[in-house]
Amino acid sequence: MKVFYSDAHLAHQPRYYFPEGGQTEPFLETPERAECVVSVLHKADWAEVVPPEEFGLEPILSVHSAPYLDYLRTAYAEWQSCSPIEGQAFIPGSYTIDRQMVLTGNVPEQTGFFLMSVHVPVTAGTYTAALAAAQCALSGAQAVAQGQRAAFALCRPPGHHAGREICGGFCFLNNAAIAAQWLSGQGKVAILDIDYHAGNGTQDIFYERPDVLTVSLHANPDREYPNYAGYTHETGAGPGAGYHRNYPLPVGTDDSLYLHTLNEALDLIANFDPAHLVLSAGMDIYKDDPLSDFAITHPGIVEIGRSIASLNLQTLVVMEGGYNVEALGKNVVALLVAFV
């Protein structure tokens, strides 16, 4: 299996963020996440770790807006030019709900427009790292389109909370959506999101599309981020009505309940009959993840991988969350080995 990895992710190293409550906490989405995964994969005789190819900005702009990319590219430098505070770009105190507003060159205003939450501090290296992650996803998409049974895009930062022109939840560019959009030129695509948190960005991007089925299993958003999206009544709109499905799960969800729900989701995907599957693989479902209240075990992750692989679809696996660094590499391998 080809594993696409770029050490450009090391350029993105926020020191802290502002979770609910307003107190700063150490940033959980650290470079060690990707480094521990690639270290374990280097030891797997079936994994071929390679750098991504360069696809340029065009496939990214098919998902994200040009003003949004410009913001990610320039925000840190512009903020530093007018502030003595080093290390992070401006964190907004308020946010717009008017997506038609006219943007000025004012950094606080732009940040309040493009940031969905305070979980996404932009640093000097964020844009570079996010672009490299997107190239990893596109390289993986190309590999499966060319006939590979499966490929793994070791993306950091993750992406499934990023919408067309908003970032949130540690995510800046929606790697899975960018890959799925690229693959959609070759037939129908299904995106299955198994991250602990709802894939609201992916949902939003494809919500009115009938050619891309989006399915997400996640903690019930009535208690977990992103809170405003991920509910069962959200099933798509317009031409995309019926082509999105959310499976919110309760506190303490164990292997049995998760696999039962997953099988229902897999039946939905099988009936859609896609040409390709994009799997947003968040290992924060694991029982000992600091952000999880699920009870999914390591053997449970093995079975999750086997169940998804049983679809026999050409599959791109894209790294999303997972914050127990000690267990993350082993859990990723447990998921991937079913596709070998």
Catalytic residues: 161
The residue type found at 251 is V
State the burial class of residue 26 (Cβ atoms within 10 Å of its Cβ: 0-12, 13-18, 19+). Answer: exposed
Residue 236: CA count within 13 A, CB half-sphere: 18
- Hey, how many other C-beta atoms are within 10 angstroms of the C-beta on 33? 24
DSSP 140-188: HHHHHHTT-SEEEE--SS--TT--SS-BBTTBSS-HHHHHHHHHGGGS-
Q: What share of the chain is helix, strand, coil (3-state, %, to 5)?
A: 40, 15, 45
Pick from 316, 280, 6, 48: which is nearest to 132 by CA?
A: 6
SS3 74: helix
Q: 23-29, long-range: CB within 8 Å, 24+ apart, which pairs?
A: 27/121, 28/170, 28/290, 28/291, 28/323, 29/156, 29/157, 29/158, 29/170, 29/321, 29/323
Cα 126 to Cα 119, 122, 290, distances in angstroms:
13, 6, 24
Pick from 264, 258, 266, 265: which is nearest to 301 by CA?
A: 258
Pick from 197, 195, 215: which is nearest to 274 by CA?
A: 215
